[in-house]
Every structure is written in C-alpha cells, then in structure tokens.
Structure 1
Amino acid sequence: MIKYLKKLSIQLLAILLVLTALIPAANANVIEYSGGVMDEYEYEEVFFLYDIPIKFTGKATVTEKENKNQLTSTYKFTLASPDGHKLTRSVVYVSDLTKHEVKGQTTSNTTVKSYNEKVTLADKTTYTLADYQFSQGSVVDNRPATDYYSGNIIARKIYKKSYKVDKKTIEEEITVRITGENVGYQNFWGSTDTQLIDYEIVTPLGTAFVTNKVSDSKSRVLEYEAHSPSLSSFVGGNSVISTSDMISEYEYDIPYSHYARSGTINLNKKKSPTIERLIVPKFRDIAKHWSKPNIEKLYSLGIFDESSNFFSPDAAMKKDLFTIGVAKAVDLRVMEEKTNKRKTLKKPLFEDLDVKDPNYIYIESALNKGLVNPKNKEKFGAKDSITRAEAVTIIVRSLGLEGRAPTPGYKTKFIDDNKIPNAAKDSIYIASELGLIDPDKKNRINANEVLTRGKASQLLVRYLNFLESDLKQNYRDDILYFD
C-alpha cells in the first residue's frame, strides 16, 4: 500500500492524510442495549427496575476484537447516582460473521458470552442479574459509497432482587423481556446507528413498560471559512468539522409506582467538535463563475487535484476525471488490495488507461465495483465527455440505490422522459427523488447533455451533501420523531 501512496502527488497525499485523521475511530454504535449515551467524559443511562426511574452516570468502556470472522464486543460500566445508588455491569457479546462475497453482503448472529451486573441502592436493596439470554441477527449491505445495515433483537433478563424487612431478607424475581431493532449506515463522511427497544418488566407488584429510542451519529461536514484581511493572497477556504452526538428517549409506564407512574426522560451527549483547515484553491478563471463554491470545495478536498491555475469550468467534464472524483469523494477502498496482486498487474484493464497514473487505482476500483461501464472491450472511454445520464448513473450505483426505482415500465415526471437512456432511467429517477438533480425551467432533465466541469462540480457537491446530511436525517430524525 505504501508503494502506491508514494505515487500520489504531494498535495493529494497531504489532503488524504488530513482526511484519514478525521475519520471516526469506529462506526457509530449505540452503547450496548440499555439506551445509554456518552461523550468523551461520561456515560449516562436510566434504570427502571425500581418503582421510580434512576439516572446513573459514570464510566463506560467498549472494546472490540475481530478474529476469523468472529467479533467480540466487551462493555464495562461503573456508574452511580446522586442519591448514592451504584451500578456495575460487564457484558461480552460474540458475533459470528458470514461474508457473502457474491451478494456483497455480510450477515451476523450475536449471542451473549458472559455477563455480570449488580445494582445496589442506597438502602442496601440489590438487583443481581441471574440469567441473560440474548440473540441478535443483522445484515449489512456493503455498497461502494455506503454500508447499510439492519438488525433485530430478542432478549430476556432475570434479576434477583434482595432487600430486608425487619432484619429478614426477602428475595424476589424480576423478568425483563426485550425486543427491538436497529438500523444504520456508515460511509466516509459519517455514520448513524439508531436503536428502538421495548422492555416489558415483570415484577411481583405488576408489569412496567419502557420504550427506548437511542441514536448515535458521527458526521463530517464541509464549511467555508472567510479570510478577513484584504491584503492577502486568498479570501477564504474550507474546513472539515467533525462532530459526534448521541440522543436517547425513554417513555415509561410503571402502574404500580407511587411516585412516577409514567413519563418521558431525554438524554443527550455531544463530543467536542474538531476542525481541520484544508488547502486554499487559487484558480484564476472561476472568480465570477456560478459554480465557484463547488469547485473550491472539491479542490480543497483533493477530489480535483489540478496543477494549473485555470480550471476551465465551462469545458466538458471527461469520463475518467468524473469517475476519479466520485471514487475520491467516498474514499473507495482502493488501498485494500493485496500488494502481490498489484505487482502481477502488467497492463491496464483498458488500452486508454495507464497503470502508472497515480489515479488509475480509482478507476480500476470503480470498474471492479460496477460503478461505471467501459466504452467497449478495448477502451474505457477515458477522454470521452460525460453526459448527465452517465454521471448520475455512477453516483447512484455508488450509493447502491438503483434497485429502489419502480417496476420497469414506469415514466419519470420529466417531459423528455423518452430521451432518457434505458440504462440510466432508474438512476435518473432515484437521483431526482434524492434531490441530487433538478429539471430545467421547462421540466426537462436533459439526460444526454454533456456536463461542463462546473455542472459536474455541482453534482458532486450535492452528492457529498447527501452523504453528510441526508442519510443522517433519514436514519435518525425521521425515525425518532416521525416514525
């Protein structure tokens, strides 16, 4: 891998190193299955086995280890409440992973390997976890730009409650039945994991019900930073702002409680954001161009690595440069290929590509992942001008959403529907629904129009905005607030 990184330009390498440092260390993942939230300092959750909710705070640690298609996740909690209650918990889950290479999917089955949990109230009443049965099935659809996943949870916990009355020890059994689901996604620009859990708590006094909605999101967003001094070589530049936050909501009904029969408790934790400035574009021919902000964003990110001071925004975008741009925008995992495979590569996949070009690996990866089609058996069509239909198809395929179009035979809402190439119709439909493309004033989509470099930049930035914000909206806010 190092060998091929060295082939990149110094400018691109510096940008990639910056962006790599900003990638979250792990996927967004809800902390265990208790509805808790955490930041870099503190973990917080609500406990419902007592007849009133108890809010615990303290320390939580999560470690994961994968070995031979088995993922081991360990959670440890040391918590306390302001009233002097204490909670300790240690749980180890084991997930058996099955990779379906042909289908591009991964399935997993998770069980609990070991557990230990004890809650000690200020009055010395204790709740000890005596038995824990847990099962979760999940599927991950591994798409080039984004991984989407979904899972279902069924579990049962049995606690032994112990307390004293007139110096006599009383023991009771509490059973907690748990059902739920989780959905999420992960891409280069962020990740969200949303979990919906129902708890049925059966006690000698009656049955309580708790519904929890919790979501963990990590995101990286581009923002423009103005440069105030007038006597300067540049007027502003872009930054990447990385954020992470968790929100949780408990709705509870405890009919046997004398204090709090029902209600809602909300938790929220945010980590301190980080900011990283990117390089400053200095193109001389885009100062008054309508797509200037788009072009500058893409250049700052290294998606365009032009060496010239002239961008030529009204010139035609070429197929190879657009393909490379999409691949760089989502950080296609081109560096994961084994080095010995690369060493045996003696000629390019197509005669109009050059293996010595540092960007060749991006085109090769896009071809291997089915994002783009070659022109014919001999040529990729590297220097062909790309049309809107071709560009949109590459983007929608990278998202893996082309299959969400209606049953074939449908018509789009555009008046020039009959001019949309059959191979691009599903992608055009999906891109329009996602807000990636708009028709002109006459409601024409102009699928066969050659994209200028300025218009291609606009399309790529909209694509980035979708990855940064729209997926988070769909996987968190739409579920938590409008489901």
Structure 2
Amino acid sequence: MKKITMTSLALAATLVFSPMAKAETLDMSGGVKDNYQYEEVVFISGEPVLFKGEGKAISIKETNKSGKAKRDVSLTLTGPSNKDKLTRKISYESDVVSYDKIGQKTAEEKITKYTETAEIKGVKYSLLDYESSDARFVDVRPASDYYSGKGITRKVFNRTVGRNAPPERINVNVETRRAGYENFWGATEALISDYNYEREVGGTVEEEWTVTNKVNVTKSSILELQENMASGVSYDDYYVIERYKEMGSIYEYELADGTTDEVALDKTYTPTNSALPVAKFNDIQNLDDEAYTATKKMYGLQVINDYPSNILGIRSFRPSAYITRVDFTAALAKLIDLRVDMPDEKAKGKSTSKNAPSYFKDLPASNENYDAILLAVQKGLTTGNGKCDFTQPPIVEKAPAKNKPGVVNPCSFSPNNALTREHAASFMIRALGLQNKQANMQAVELYADDQTIGASHRNNVYLAKELGLMNGTEDNFIPRKNLTRAQAMRMLDRLLLHLEDDLKSRYVDEIIFAQ
C-alpha cells in the first residue's frame, strides 16, 4: 500500500481602517465564504464532494475574556444530492499567556467540543473520537504582531456498512503549521496542514488518499484616488478607502487509485467605501509626484497637521520646512495606530484634564499629540532622552522651598527639535519591531558617508534601505541632515505600502507558493 500525505495550505490577509479583526482561517477544512454562502470540498468518502450552505446554516461566534479566547463554528451543508448532508459543530478554546516585559504572548488552542456527521451517496460517516492541540507564539511589536504555531489533530469516523460486513473506520491525522502577522493596516495568515486519510476495514488499512488545499482569505482596505466627474469646481479629486474581502481555495488531490486532479473555489464579499478629507494646500503644487501624492494621502488619513493661510478655506502644508520630532512621531503613531489591541493602554495614557501632569517636562499633557507621543515612547519607537520611568506616575516639578529640595522631572522629548534622517530611519524600524534584525549587507550597497552614520542607527538605516523605506541622495545618506515635511510624507507613504503589500507578499510568495 502506497503511503500518501495531505497538505492543506490556508492564507488570510486583512487590511482595515479600523481596529483589526484577526485574519484567521475558519477551520482546517479549506472552505470559503462570503456575506451569505459557504462552500467546501469534502474528501472523507475518498473522492471530492462539494458541499454548500447559506444564511443561518453558517454560524461563527468568537469571544475573548480574561485570557481565554473562544470560537464556535457551526455548519449545516448540502451536497450535490439533497440527500447528501454534512453537519459540523466545533468549539475552540485558547489559553493566552502574556509576557508584557518582553512583548510576547503564547497560546494553547484545543478543541473542547466537536461533532460531525456526513451522508454521501447513502453512506453515513459519524465522528467517534478526536484529539487536538495547537500551540502558538506571538511577538507583539508596535506596528505589527508576528506569530507562528504548530498543531496536531486526530479524528476517527465510523463508516456505516451492511449488517454482515466488517466494521469500517476513516482515520484522519493532521499536522498543522501556521505563520502570520496582523497590524492596523493588514493581516495575513498562512496555515499549512498535512492530512493523511485511511480507510480501515476490520482493523486493516485498505486505502489511503491525500489532498493539498490552498486557501486565500484577503480582507483589504486600499486607498484609491477618485477623479471628480465635474470640472471647474472646488476640488479635482479625493481619496476613498475601499474595503473588500475575497476567499479562494484550490484542492489538489491524489485518490487511493492514483487519480490526481484539482478543484477551485472562490468567494467575494461586497466591498464598502469611505471618503477621506481633501488636502486643499496652496504650497504643494511644485512637489515631485511621489511627495505630492504622499502628502495628499497622509492628510486624507489625518495623520499629519497643516497650517492656516491667508485664504479662506485654503491651508498650507509647508513642505520645505523641517518636520519636528513631535509631528513625525505623532504621524507615525497615528499611521500604525500604535497597536491593534491597545484600547486599555490608550485609556491609561489619555489625559483627563488640561492641567493633568505630563511625563515629559517639555510637552504638556494638554498638547494634542501628547497621548500619541506617550505611547510612542512607551512602545519604544523613540527613547526621548532616555530618562523616563513609565512604571511610576508622572513627576510633578516643584521649586525648592524652605528646608525642602526642589523636584526636577528628568524626562524630556525635545518635541520642537527638527528630526534627522537617521533618527527617522530608527523610528520606523522600531515601529516594525525589526530593530534586532540584522540588515542584509550583501543586498544593499554601503553609502559613501557610511562612517558618519551613528552607531546606534547604522543597522536601522540599512534596514530602511533594504525595505525601500528610505534612500540616500546619490551615493550618500546624509544621516544628520534634518528631514523636511515633504520627505517625511514620502517615508510614511512607503511605510504604509510596506504594511499593505510587502508583508502580505512575503507571507504569500515565500510561504504559500514556495511550498
């Protein structure tokens, strides 16, 4: 008997302009769904059978409380014949352990309840027994979570046969590996599962077959420039965020008799659109195309400030002015939302009064960007002056009094100082959580002024170059040159493209299509 393995591969990608929902595969079956319908191909009978369900026949419920994540999946499906039925109910439960000091999490997911029955061509299959364990690791970074996991599942089904025939069982053994990321702009999950089906008759394995399943689940929000259909009015164009979701699944199989083929499924959700504010600046027309487009995008997303002008309804951007540390840090924090799952931390950071004490001696809590800067420093995008202690309440400065020494707050941020190019590179690399990753120096050419780059920024500068976030001027990087506001917009736009496309490509191309 030839031994056959089964590989199931699943991908989920999500980009949303709102707090992120997890990009996670429905289960290990490889099914696809849209707003209303669900489809999957079932191989328990030893051949591919398409099952479908819609409306209330498909139910997915998720909760997450006190370190326990629960997910209930219920499916009632119909096959090619109205007599072909499949009913599946699975309850998953995960125990999540947080290691806040090192920014990591681990989770163990188990199937706590599982029932499944199927009837195909008059033959009934009923789940008799199952075992399942799935371990996951999450590296929590400021802009993205990166995670991996491995799982093992064993399922045993009874196959109904005639009264005098020996008993039959279908044994299904599954090993899964997963890798993914999630952030405010996108999320991708690749799930690879190796299945082995066995048909056991009277205690003897008579047949084995395999399936390779590749699932693509993509939730996306993309910025699209829309031209105004009317000419000669107050604006020429505007940006729209289009949110869409697509699912595709390919089943490549080898049956017990050696037959090989594939079946493809796909589903698309109805897209939704949201319009963004229009940048009506009187001083960006002479920018190069990349800076001009980036400035309009960043303003539409409301991550960067503007300035009043002398013309009613028109604002100025001051593209040639140097961007300050406070403006760049706040823009970066807003662009990445400084964590997908930080509502509690945001609440802690927010000031409740204009007179509330500030952690920074040079940035009052009443500043409109205070909360963003506080989170940025707490999350390690920038260190400030390195003398801030966020484990204690803010220090309230006091002048010396009789027989009492004064109190000095050592924590500062230098908010109005101009930001240098090397600092900007470090801010972005830290936001991605890659500051401990070594740049591939064989893939990037050294800058002619390499020796002038600060030691603490050098690796980040070359990582930024490797990722396409920053480039030098001709052969030089000019690390200590101040960054203009227009240049900063280009960098933030490239970071957005990295979060939107590059990360997804790495998980799709390097995991899915490389397998």
C-alpha distance in 1 between matches for 2:343 and 2:261: 51
C-alpha distance in 1 between matches for 2:131 and 2:198: 16
What do you get for the CA RMSD once the two structures are aligned? Answer: 2.4
Gaps of 5+ in 1: 1-19
C-alpha distance in 2 between matches for 1:417 and 1:432: 13
Alignment map for 1:27-106 (pairs within 5 Å): 27-59=22-54, 60-84=58-82, 85-106=84-105
C-alpha distance in 2 between matches for 1:346 and 1:231: 49
Q: Return the offset for 1:296.
A: 0.9
- 1:78-135, Cα deviation, whole Å (9 max, x unpaired): 11122332110001111111011111111001111111100011x3201111111111
Alignment map for 1:95-244 (pairs within 5 Å): 95-121=94-120, 123-164=121-162, 171-204=167-200, 205-244=206-245
Q: Return the offset for 1:335.
A: 4.8
| TM norm structure 1 | 0.89
C-alpha distance in 1 between matches for 2:463 and 2:369: 28
Alignment map for 1:465-480 (pairs within 5 Å): 465-480=497-512
Structure 1 residues 171 and 149, CA, compared in 2 at 3 Å: closer, same or farther? Answer: same
Structure 2 equivalent of residue 5 of structure 1: none
Moved more, 109-118 or 331-340: 331-340
Partner-residue secondary structure (3-state), 1:96? strand
Residue 335 of structure 2: which of 324, 329, 334 is its match?
329
Contact 2:425 2:464 in 1 (8 A): yes
C-alpha distance in 1 between matches for 2:138 and 2:464: 23
| TM norm structure 2 | 0.84
Amino acid at match of 1:178: V
Amino acid at match of 1:33: M
Structure 1 residues 219 and 127, CA, compared in 2 at 3 Å: closer, same or farther? Answer: same
**1:452 and 2:484 correspond:** yes
Partner-residue secondary structure (3-state), 2:295? helix
Q: Return the offset for 1:216.
A: 2.2
How many residue pairs match? The answer is: 457
- 1:240-271, Cα deviation, whole Å (9 max, x unpaired): 111222222222211237xxx11222222221
**1:434 and 2:467 correspond:** yes
Structure 2 equivalent of residue 382 of structure 1: 415
C-alpha distance in 1 between matches for 2:20 and 2:417: 39
- Calculate percent identity across the aligned residue pairs: 32
C-alpha distance in 2 between matches for 1:249 and 1:430: 36
C-alpha distance in 1 between matches for 2:19 and 2:426: 29
Contact 1:411 1:417 in 2 (8 A): no
The structure whose RCO (Cα within 8 Å, separation 6+) is larger is 2
Structure 2 equivalent of residue 294 of structure 1: 294
Gaps of 5+ in 2: 1-14, 201-205, 309-314, 387-409
C-alpha distance in 1 between matches for 2:37 and 2:167: 33
Residue 363 of structure 1: which of 373, 377, 391 is its match?
373
Contact 1:214 1:248 in 2 (8 A): yes
Q: Return the offset for 1:378.
A: 4.5
**1:316 and 2:316 correspond:** no
Contact 1:189 1:221 in 2 (8 A): no
**1:461 and 2:467 correspond:** no
- 1:400-433, Cα deviation, whole Å (9 max, x unpaired): 0122215999996322221211111121121111
Q: Return the offset for 1:203.
A: 1.1
Structure 1 equivalent of residue 435 of structure 2: 402
Amino acid at match of 2:115: N
Structure 1 residues 79 and 395, CA, compared in 2 at 3 Å: closer, same or farther? Answer: same
C-alpha distance in 1 between matches for 2:471 and 2:485: 17
